[in-house]
Structure 1
Amino acid sequence: MGSAGHILSQFRRARRLSQLELSLQADVSARHISFIETGRTQPSRDVLLRLSAVMNLSHRDTNHLLTACGYAAVYSDIPLEETAMASVRQALTIMLEHHAPYPAVVLNQHWDLQMANRSMQQLISALLPAHQSDTQLNMMVVLFEPDGLRPFITNWPDVAALLLRRLKLQLQTQPSPKLAGLMNHLLSLDPPEHWQTPTPQSWEGPMLTANLNVHGQPLSIFSTLTSFGTALDAGLQELMIESYFPADDATKAFFEYLAKEVDN
C-alpha cells in the first residue's frame, strides 16, 4: 500500500492541494486521506474514483491509481490502429481532410505524430531531410532540432519558449517519465535562455504566430488544439488534433496554390 499511497500523494501535490483541501472537495476525511497516503488503510474503489475526479486526473492516471491499489482499470486503452477504433480513425480522417488546403496533424500525449493530412505531409517532405520525413516524428523535437524545422522558423525563440512553458504546465498536471524525458531532451537542444519568462514586448496581435521562411516564401501560421470531449478510452482522451491556419493573405494563397499544384 505504501506505493499506492505515494502515487496518490504525488498526484495531490502536483495539483498543489493539501490533504485538507482535497478532503473538503471530495467529501472524504483528511484523516482517511492521510491513512491512504501512509499505507495505513485500504481505500475503496469508489473513494479512489472520487479523489481522481476531484483532482481531475486523466483516464490513464486514474487507471494507474486504481491498479496500484489492487483494483481493475476502469478506462480502456485501445491502440488507434485496432479494429475497435475504426470509427475514431474515420472521424480523425474526416477532420484532417476537411481542413485542407491547410496543414493538420493528430498527436498523442507525448507530441508524437500519429496522422497528418496531405498538406502537412507536403510541408514535412519539403522541409525535412529524407531520413526524418520517413520516420515517426515528435513534433516538439522536430521544432527544436537544428536539422528539423528550427532553421525555417524566423521567430523561433518566441515559439520555442511558449512550447516549453506549455510542456512544463503539462508535466505539472500529467507527470510521466516519457514527458519528463522529452522536456530534458528539449532543454539540451540550446533552448531560449529566458524561456520561463514571457516577453510581452515581442507580442503582436491576439495570438502568437509561427513565422516561417520556406525557400524564400514567408509564411505566418497559428494553430488550434482539439480533443475528444467524451472519450472513455485513455489513449483517445490524450489525442490532440492540431490544425494550422494562415495568419495572412500571402500564407493563405501559398497553401491554396500548393493544393492546386498537387491536384493537377
Structure 2
Amino acid sequence: MEQRSTPMGSAGHLLATLRRARRFSQLELSLQAEVSARHISFIETGRTQPSREMVLRLADVMGLAHRDCNRLMNACGYAPVYTDLPLEEAAMAPVRHALKMMLDKQDPYPAAVLHNTWDLHLANQSLQRLLSALLPAPSLQGRVNMLEIIFDPHGLRPYMTNWEAIAALLLRRLALQLQTQPKPELTSLMERLLAMDPPANWQTPEPNTWEGPMLTSELLINGQALSVFSTLSSFGTALDAGVQELMIESYFPADDATRLFFETLAAQAD
C-alpha cells in the first residue's frame, strides 16, 4: 500500500501527482527507474531528498513534458533543465523563422501553429482566407481556439458533413491528453466543449473505426463537397518548454476537387 504524501505544494506531493497522472504505481516507477519502491515512497512522503540525477531519471521514465520536468526540479530545489522563453525573444528568432517557413511552404493549403491547449498561435495565408470566408469576423478576434471553432454552431460545425465522427474523435483525443497533461486550461476546454451539444456516446468509438494519426474532414462549402485530411507535428527535440508545447497542424486536399478549391481561393486573393 502506498504511503500518504506530504502536504500540497511539496516536492513529494508533486511527484505523486505527476506519477498518478501518468498511471504509474510506485512499484512500476521504481522498477523502471531501477530504485526501490521504498525509495519512491520516501521521496513522496518527504523522508528523502532526491538527488538532481534521481529527479531527472524519474522525469525521463515518466516521460514528463519539459514544463513538468522544470516544475519538479524547482520543487526539489534544483535549477530548471529547460529554457522557457517567449517566442518573441531575440534568442527565439530561429524558431520563428522555422515556423514561418513551414506555414508559408504549405500554401495554398492551410496550416497553423497551435499551443497544446489548441489555441491558434499562427496561421498561414490559406487558413486565414478560409476562416475569414466562413466565420463571422468577431469570432476571429482575440483568442481563437481551433476545437471551439469546430464545435461552435456558428463556426465550422455547419460546414462539416462528418462533424459527429470528427467531434467524437477530438473529444476522445482531448480526454487522453488530459490524462497525461492534467492542466486547468485543458480541463476548462473540455468543459466548454461538452457544453456545446457534443455527439452522444462520444466516449465509445464506432465499431471497426481506425483512429490513426490523420484526421479526414468532409466539408460542404457553397454547395461544393470537399475532403481535407490533417496531420499534427511538433518539435520532438526542442530544449525549450514553450516550443515543445507548440503543434503544427497541416491540412491537405484528399481529392482533386479540394485541391482545385484551395488553388482557386489563393489565385483569387492575388
Counterpart of 2:225 in 1: which secondary structure? Answer: strand
Any stretches of 5+ residues in structure 1 without a counterpart?
none
Query: Distance between the aligned counterparts of 1:207 and 1:15, measured in 2?
Result: 25
Deviation of 1:206 after TM superposition, in Å, equals 9.8
**Does residue 1:64 correspond to 2:90, yes or no?**
no
**Given the alignment, which residue of 249, 252, 255 partners 1:245?**
252
Percent identity, aligned pairs only, is 67
Distance 1:161 1:242 in 2: 19
- How much is the aligned-residue C-alpha RMSD, in angstroms? 1.8
Mark the CA change 1:179 to 1:35 in structure 2 (over 3 Å): closer, same or farther: same
Q: Of the candidates 116, 121, 126, which is equivalent to residue 114 of structure 1? A: 121
Q: 2:243 aligns with which of 224, 236, 240?
A: 236
> 1:71-110 counterparts in 2 under 5 A?
71-110=78-117
How many angstroms apart in 2 are the aligned matches of 1:196 and 1:122? 34
The Cα shift of 1:189 comes to 1.0
Greater displacement, 210-219 / 82-91:
210-219
In 1, Cα distance between equivalents of 2:27 and 2:231: 37
1:218 to 2:225 alignment: yes
The structure 1 residue matched to 2:26, chosen from 4, 9, 19, is: 19
TM-score after normalising by structure 2: 0.93
Q: In terms of mean alpha carbon deviation, does 242-251 or 34-43 score higher?
A: 34-43
Residue 166 of structure 1 is matched in structure 2 by 173
C-alpha distance 18-88 of structure 1, shift in aligned 2 (>3 A):
same
SS of alignment partner, residue 196 of structure 1:
coil
Segments of 5+ residues of structure 2 without an aligned counterpart are 1-5
Whether the 8 Å CA contact 2:148–2:193 is kept in 1: the answer is: yes
Match of residue 47 from structure 1:
54
CA distance in 2 between counterparts of 1:201 and 1:41 reads: 49
- Alpha-carbon distance between aligned partners in 2 of 1:136 and 1:178, rounded to the nearest angstrom: 13
1:142 matched to 2:146? The reply is no
Distance 2:255 2:211 in 1: 13
| Whole-angstrom CA distance in 1 between matches of 2:55 and 2:166 | 39
Q: Secondary structure at the match of 1:198?
A: coil
Counterpart CA distance in 2 for 1:105 and 1:208 is: 15
TM-score relative to the length of structure 1: 0.95
Query: Which residue of the other structure, out of 101, 118, 131, is the alignment partner of 1:124?
Result: 131
Q: Distance in 2 between matches of 1:161 and 1:92?
A: 29
Give the secondary structure class of the aligned counterpart of 1:136.
coil
Listed one character per residue, the Cα deviations across residues 98-142 of structure 1 (whole Å, up to 9, x for unaligned) are 111100000011111011110000011011111112333111111
Change (3 A) 1:214 1:135: farther
Q: Distance in 1 between matches of 2:207 and 2:214?
A: 11
1:95 is paired with a residue whose SS is helix
- Residue deviations 1:165-192 (CA, integer Å, cap 9, x gap): 1111111111111111111111111111
- Within 2, Cα distance between the matches of 1:39 and 1:204? 42
Counterpart of 1:209 in 2: which secondary structure?
strand
Which deviations, in whole Å up to 9, do the C-alpha atoms of 1:46-103 show, x marking residues without a partner?
1111000000000001011111222221111111122111111110111011111100
User: CA 1:203–1:71 in 2, change beyond 3 Å: closer, same or farther?
Assistant: closer
